[in-house]
Amino acid sequence: MDPIVIKKNILFIVIYLISRSIVSGQILEFNLEKGLEDFKPISKNSPFYYNSKANNEFENHCYVTLEKNLVKNVPIPQDIVCRNNIGIFLFKVNKYSKIEKLEYFGDLDSSIVKKIKFNIQKTENRFVKPKYNSQEQFHWFVLPFKSNGLDMIEESRNCPNYEIIKNENDSGNKLFDIINKLRIALPNFTSVTILRYKGHLDEMERKGLILHEEM
């Protein structure tokens, strides 16, 4: 199957898996209330609040910290500026704060997939467990990840596939489009949080590989 077709099918596979796993009688809610870049407010005592020390002072939501932790120490391909790979990780946290299901779809390097799956497993026992009479007894998280040079077009000019990268960049971010469609296409599930798409930027900044000019 053509790689482009595979990437387009990711959306439908994720929707299918979530739909098949919905438990009858559980009230579901979807985090669309504050737009694509914000998370719904959640108290520290709420079911599936993520308990972990913030990585910096700017992390003002537990799921922002979760995002950072999921992509921490993810390998950076040497030819990152010539890459255009995407993947979606889908995991279900049960009422015992255990990772009950973990699925991945995409064409990322195996080393990247392995590390993110490892980071997901490390989140076990860090989520607030719901009470026995809580309407929410599980929670799904969706993490989109990109491994590409679309944000580094100038450095990509010497790539043999430069025209492909440039055209994809000019036509818009494919992954962001997938997230938008996923948010719209899913029914009003609740117990689903789609994390903001991540890439190698956080890790490159953490390792000092990206320098910011002083104002």
- In tens, the pLDDT along 39-82 reads 778 899 999 999 999 988 888 899 999 999 999 999 999 888 88
pLDDT tens track for 138-182 = 999 999 898 876 555 567 778 888 887 777 666 545 556 666 666
**pLDDT confidence of residue 49:** 96
Residue spans per domain, the chain: 3-199
pTM listed for this prediction: 0.77
Structure confidence at residue 3 (pLDDT): 47
Own/partner contacts of 204-211, CB < 8 Å, gap of 24 or more, are 204/76, 206/72, 209/76
Q: Find, among 196, 192, 162, 190, the residue nearest to 176 by Cα.
A: 196
Q: Which residue has the higher pLDDT, 46 or 186?
A: 46
CA pair distance 184, 175, nearest whole angstrom:
14
Average pLDDT over residues 124-142: 93
pLDDT digits (tens, 9 = 90+) for 15-45: 555 544 444 344 444 444 444 456 778 899 9
Write the pLDDT tens digit of every residue in 70-95: 999 999 998 888 887 888 899 999 99
Tens of pLDDT, residues 188-198: 566 888 888 78
Identify the residue with better confidence: 194 or 120: 120
